[in-house]
Amino acid sequence: MDADSDVKAGGGSSFYNKQGMGVKECENMIRRSLRTPMVKFLREQMGKTGCNIGDNFIKAVDCENSIVVCSNRLTMQDEVNQVVIHELIHAYDDCRSANLDWANCAHHACSEIRAGHLSGDCHYKREFLRGFMKIRGHEQECIKRRVMKSLVNNPNCPEPAAKDAMEAVWDTCYNDTQPFDRAP
């Protein structure tokens, strides 16, 4: 794994809380998009660099109430286990909190803190493999680093707001170990 492998996974809630469209409608729009000048140009340029992409390169998927794991980013069972646990903690948070709003930086930060803490994302073994070799205090530093990495990808959470939100909810969310009795 690299210094913070970019494993993409998504659940049923979006940053925008939009209803969205059906898969078939989206597939039709993707097909139309493939005919636009800029998309055609980009596909041609990718082909010239040896990266030919077919019509099935872009997929429409209904992500409602689901977790999507990008297989090409993972190399071993432990990584898959870790991603599934991390994402299930997000799904648990989404399920137990009727008012969870992923566009709210504090809500998003809280779920990321919990997922980082409870999933083992920041176990010293994983941190060592990422190139972070601090013996003491590594877990909280790792969680904060990974929370920030996630939050800044939320269009509603620019870096200063993301950091403020993370710090504001840190103690409460770090100490919330539900559904476990204690942090695993």
**Given 87, 112, 127, 139, the catalytic residue:** 87
Encode 105-116: b = buried (16+ Cβ within 10 Å), e = exposed: bbbbbbbbbbbb
Q: How far apart are CA 154 and CA 14, in angstroms?
A: 10
Does 127 qualify as catalytic in the annotation? no
Burial (CB count <10 Å: 0-12, 13-18, 19+), residue 130: middle
Burial (CB count <10 Å: 0-12, 13-18, 19+), residue 157: buried
Contact assessment for residue 23 and residue 61, using Cβ atoms and an 8 Å cutoff: yes
Task: Please list the active-site residues.
Answer: 87
